[in-house]
Amino acid sequence: MSFLHHPLSTRVLSSSTALTVAALLGLASVGCGSETSSTANADGSDGAAEGSSDGQSDGTDATDGTSDGTAAGGGSDGSDGSDGSDGSDGQAVACTPANNKAKGFLETSGGIIYYHNQPVAVRASHDPAKGCVNKLGLDFAIDGGCKLTLDYTTLNGNWILNSASFKGDAKCGEFWREDDTTVFSLESDSIQRTALADVVAATGKLDAAACSPTKELRLLGSVDLFAAGATSETDRRLSFGLNELKVTGAFDTEVSASSGCPANAKSCVALTCGPDYFGVDCGECEKGLSCIGGTCVKGGCDPESTGRTEGFHIGEQDQYRDEEGAPFSLHSLCGAPAVWMIRVAHWCSACTYLAPEFQRMYDTYAPLGVKFILLVGETNTGGPATSLDAKSYELKHGYQEGWISLADPSWSLTEQIIETTSNGIPSHLILDQDLVLRKSSTNTDFVWAEEVALRQMLQRQGLLEP
């Protein structure tokens, strides 16, 4: 697989759990090209903002907010209002298709891909009655390689990612192995969390080919794509962060076979800090305050917390046993700059392969006060791990003195206090100084995204230079 010396596979914790894609993906348009279109956007954004606020202001899953916004009229209002883009009478806003180019870069869990100034092929269709673009395809590439294809369509007033594929090769950058070419795609049965998006206007004779004068398309959110051969027993995925990637220039559109318009995408709705539904950074808190559920509150740990997801305090777990069999309190680490917990197993080949990388992370960040924990869950035969298994795992892989090795039988103790995002291992849980969960992920062949998250936490505390 990509960026590896040899392919890796992992066993998931529950074979009944299907592969899922966490796609928090939408499009935002800047400069739709007509006054009436701007009015339509404003009308549609009320419902979108309301729905996003419902899902985000209390820190709950934004999927609820999207659903609420649609039900309350967020999506339909945006669709109904978008018919004011004015073009059906032939009074077109000046629009000349340009050579579309990418602006910015693509963040992946393997490394950064610089599509900046590379040509982008745009495929678009519009609703002839309402004058809005409701289907959009984007083809990114670097000198003919490192191809990323994203195809959006409109469903119930929202942009959704209908299909996506990525062909990784040496053109992607130095992090990609030269002799490796791997294709990743959106699984057809994957669960996708959708997002709202701005209306993109089309102008001209809308019952025929038209043009969208949009100055810039800004992509929002993130998506996981899977390599061929992914099954319930393997976890071959690549995560893409789209917030820094844009497409510039006007483009031609065709008449769409479907009707309806997408509503507005809003970022940081009712949030003052931390990441929003799309992963956009909504700001930082002043010293002494902690970002909880998107709001700055008085800092400190909360052992009584029942929060189990990213952005919330993690409560106490005093049932852990260390390698000597002694009780271990998670909240004994309150005040450490960060706590990095890694779920591992004796049978896990990816855990073994990545051990030197985990040890490098320890050597780099433990001197700054970061605590590193191995959560040893299972034996070679898949049985629940004991304290002796935790000790033998640490010794077998040569982990440095200073690592905290805990027995977590079948990871049941951690699952009591933290809702993990994936059943694959090794998986990572990163907590801040107030034991607020800031990162939960599964990466079987790299820890780039996790290290970025850790460094950002340390930078905010003044322990690392930006």
Q: Are strands 120-126 and 251-255 parallel, antiparallel or unpaired?
A: parallel
Characterise 204 by phi-psi region: left (phi > 0), alpha (psi -120 to 50), beta (else): left
| Cα 325 from Cα 118, distance rounded (Å) | 57
| Residue (of 218, 244, 272) closest to 56 by Cα position | 272
| Cα 23 from Cα 221, distance rounded (Å) | 7
Residue whose structure tokens are 């640490």: 394
329-340 per-position pLDDT tens digit: 999 999 899 999
Query: Whole-prediction pTM value?
Result: 0.60
Q: Give mean pLDDT, residues 316-336.
A: 93
Q: Give mean pLDDT, residues 337-344.
A: 96
**Reported confidence tier of residue 233, pLDDT bands at 50, 70, 90:** very low
- Top-confidence residue, 364 or 465: 364
pLDDT at 401 over 70: yes
Residue 65, CB-side half-sphere exposure with 13 Å CA sphere: 28
Tell me what pLDDT residue 227 has.
86
- Top-confidence residue, 6 or 196: 196
Q: Domains of the chain, with CATH numbers?
A: 24-255 (no CATH), 299-460 (3.40.30.10)
Sign of CA dihedral 406, 411, 416, 420: positive
274-293 per-position pLDDT tens digit: 888 788 888 888 877 778 77
Assess contact for 263 and 75: CB atoms under 8 A.
Answer: yes
pLDDT at 56 over 80: no
99-110 per-position pLDDT tens digit: 899 999 998 878
SS3 211: strand
Q: Quick one: tokens of 16?
A: 């009944």
